[in-house]
Amino acid sequence: MSSQVALAIPPPSPSPTQTLYGTLTKTHLYNILLEYLKPYIEHVLNEPKAAEEDAQKLLNDKEFLYLLNMLSQDAALTISKDKLRETYENVRGKFKEFDIDIDDPMEIILEHELWRLRQIRENFDAFVTMLLNFAAESPEDAYRYAVTLTALTLLLITSLIAETREKLEPISNEIRKLADELELYTLTFMVALEENKEENKVIATARSPEELKKALETV
């Protein structure tokens, strides 16, 4: 499991809305990803509940993980908050067209994406350290986080090619379920980063090993 985690979350990996934006703009790199994901997207279109199972298969696929590594570099350089919001509106509009309310789960996903982007741009070292510690201390949860992100990516891309309410409704149900999980991870990571900040303050101000040990016990 731990080896899976190390591969599954190379910090920072592209998040669902970031990946989706790339597919909408049809850059060369994302076109390669779309072609690679084509059989998975077709599978999820016909069976949305298979998204998590397909996500696990992808996380054991070295070629897919290599693509993620390349895409993470592209996303870090090119993605902006406005682009993420634009993508959110695009997906929300697709569901709204068929009278399906997906606002709450999409807000949760967007919040996670914006927070991740801010950490990557402004707090990279602490963010990566937090993710690596999370993977080492809670490997099963870390792997589940990677599955959640990958499954959401598949579902969101698939939603754009769905053409009927009958196809979109089960996709929206899976997105809602996974978004609830993602919200818990967002809160967990926020708390973990705050705790790390407090520990760093203590380490910086402690005047002796004894004082440091005592202070850390209260953090």
- Residue 6: the pLDDT is 45
The tens digit of pLDDT for each residue in 16-48 reads 877 887 777 777 888 898 899 999 999 999 999
- Residue 19: the pLDDT is 80
What is the pTM for the complete model shown?
Answer: 0.83
Better-predicted residue by pLDDT, 14 or 190: 190
Token pair for residue 191?
């708390």
By percentage, how much of the chain surpasses pLDDT 70?
83
- Residue 120: the pLDDT is 85
Token pair for residue 139?
């490997």
Better-predicted residue by pLDDT, 218 or 106: 106
HSE (CB half, 13 Å, CA atoms) of 37? 29
The C-alpha atoms of residue 16 and residue 33 are separated, in whole angstroms, by 13
The answer on pLDDT for 201 being more than 80 is no
The tens digit of pLDDT for each residue in 160-195 reads 999 999 999 999 999 999 999 999 999 999 999 987
Q: Is 15 helix (H, G, I), strand (E, B) or coil?
A: coil
Better-predicted residue by pLDDT, 5 or 79: 79
Q: Is 27 helix (H, G, I), strand (E, B) or coil?
A: coil
- The residue ranges of every structural domain in the chain are 2-216
The answer on pLDDT for 216 being more than 60 is no
Better-predicted residue by pLDDT, 218 or 162: 162
Of 79-88, 92-101, 152-161, 189-198, the one with minimum mean pLDDT is: 189-198
DSSP state, 49?
G
The tens digit of pLDDT for each residue in 138-167 reads 888 988 999 999 999 999 999 999 999 999
By percentage, how much of the chain surpasses pLDDT 90?
47
